[in-house]
Structure 1
Amino acid sequence: MANKKINTIAIFSVFVAIVMLQTFIPCLGYIRFFPALPAITTLPLTVTVFGILMGPKMGGFLGFFWGTLSLFRAYTQPADLVSIMLFQNAVIAIIPRFLAGVVPGLVGKLWQQRHSTRNYLISVAAGVASTLTNTLMVILFTSIFYNHSSKLMSCLGYTDTSKSLIIVLLTALSFNSACEAIFTGILTPLIVVPLRKVLSKRL
């Protein structure tokens, strides 16, 4: 039991270090295609892999840590006005990231080691679900906190304030979300399957 806890802490520490590197090293965790929009992030992949391997509780912890770093980064290293307006809000910065860690852990509970094809599909589904959870929760909370913000609308390139903010956000972030979902969905099984085999012998 003690060895299992030590291994869990060690694995968590490794993933915390990876999240920190992705957060603060340019073009590693955040890839920017459009200057006015938030960057495409590769961090859901890291959180998804950890959530599947370690379960929803630990996945939530890592997601919460990612969200806290997002909040810190929005104040110390803001890259664009949209990110400043969104991620300097603790709810928008933290809760979607927390849920992005919990969801793949819950999906990962469906894992059946005897069915490799099913395992592959489950890991793909977990990766896509984590990414979409993060994006949709950011959009939902943004529409709640900034429902009548003409400043945010103008930053997104919309001068017609009569449009629904949630529709505008879905349109503006659809490219980001699609890229993140494809990236995470493809790479998650390639990382999770061998790691799970190794960890199953240690935990």
Structure 2
Amino acid sequence: MNRPKQTSRLTRMGIITAILLIQNMIPFLGNIPIPPLNPTIIHVTVIVVALSMGMKDGMIAGLIWGLIRLFRAFAMPATPLDPLIWVNPIITIVPRLLIGTTTVLTYQLLHNKVRNNKLSMGVASFIGSMTNTLLVMLFIYLFFNAEIGQAMGIDASNLGYALLVIIVTSGLAEAVLAAVLAPIVVQALKRLRR
């Protein structure tokens, strides 16, 4: 990569890092506080990065988001569950890293088959968002079943059902939001680059 392109990419990643920090630190810009969890819209930023800049940058944006979330769990938890859930890097970082990967791979697969850019981006955004939701819920269930159930006031044997409700309600809403917003933002960014 030549120097001007490298500088441009580094500048864009710096701006994206600032956006992710702002979304994580200012209520209602990145999370919608509905106890006991915080549904997020930050994944849309990661998806936009993946679709507009590529898989590697999408993974970097996901890593940055995960690291910020990990820091927040220790320094300024938003809910009583934060210190139980988000201090585990597997829960905090792995799903976010994979948002960029699944988004780009899905987009490439669909774009080559259906040749409809908006549809390909929308479905890829939905899949990227659900990747995050499903992996976070799976890891919560695997790593913290009894503790989380107790903190939520749910019998440990019912935690799986509670997490399924979160997936069906919050997770699907987040995914639909991503499927609608991300393609619009990506197309606007592409027009600005011309």
**Aligned 1:91-170 pairs, distance under 5 A:** 91-110=90-109, 118-147=116-145, 149=146, 151-159=147-155, 161-163=156-158, 165-170=159-164
**Does residue 2 of structure 2 align to residue 4 of structure 1?**
no
Residues 84-132 of structure 1: CA distance to partner in whole angstroms, max 9, x if unpaired? 211011111111111112222323435869x9x7110111112211211
- 1:13 matched to which residue of 2? 14
Q: One-letter code of the match for 1:162?
A: S
- Which residue pairs with 1:50 in the alignment? 49
Q: Cα offset for 1:5?
A: 1.6
Where does structure 1 lack aligned partners over 5 or more consecutive residues? none
Aligned to 2:168: 174
TM-align CA RMSD = 2.1
- Residue number among 179, 183, 186 corresponding to 2:180 in the alignment: 186
Mean CA deviation greater in 172-181 or 101-110: 101-110
Pick which of 87-96 and 104-113 moved more: 104-113
Contact kept, 8 Å, 2:134 with 2:167, in 1: the verdict is no
Hey, which bits of structure 1, 4+ residues long, moved more than 6 A? none
Give identity over the alignment, percent: 31
Shift of 1:167: 3.3
Q: Hey, what does 2:61 align to over in structure 1?
A: 62
Q: How far, CA to CA, are the matches of 1:172 and 1:131 in structure 2?
A: 14
Counterpart in the other structure of 2:73 = 74
- Provide the TM-score with structure 2 as the length reference: 0.89
Maintained 8 Å contact 1:156/1:172: no
In the superposition, the TM-score normalised over structure 1's length comes to 0.85
Q: Which has the higher helix share?
A: 2
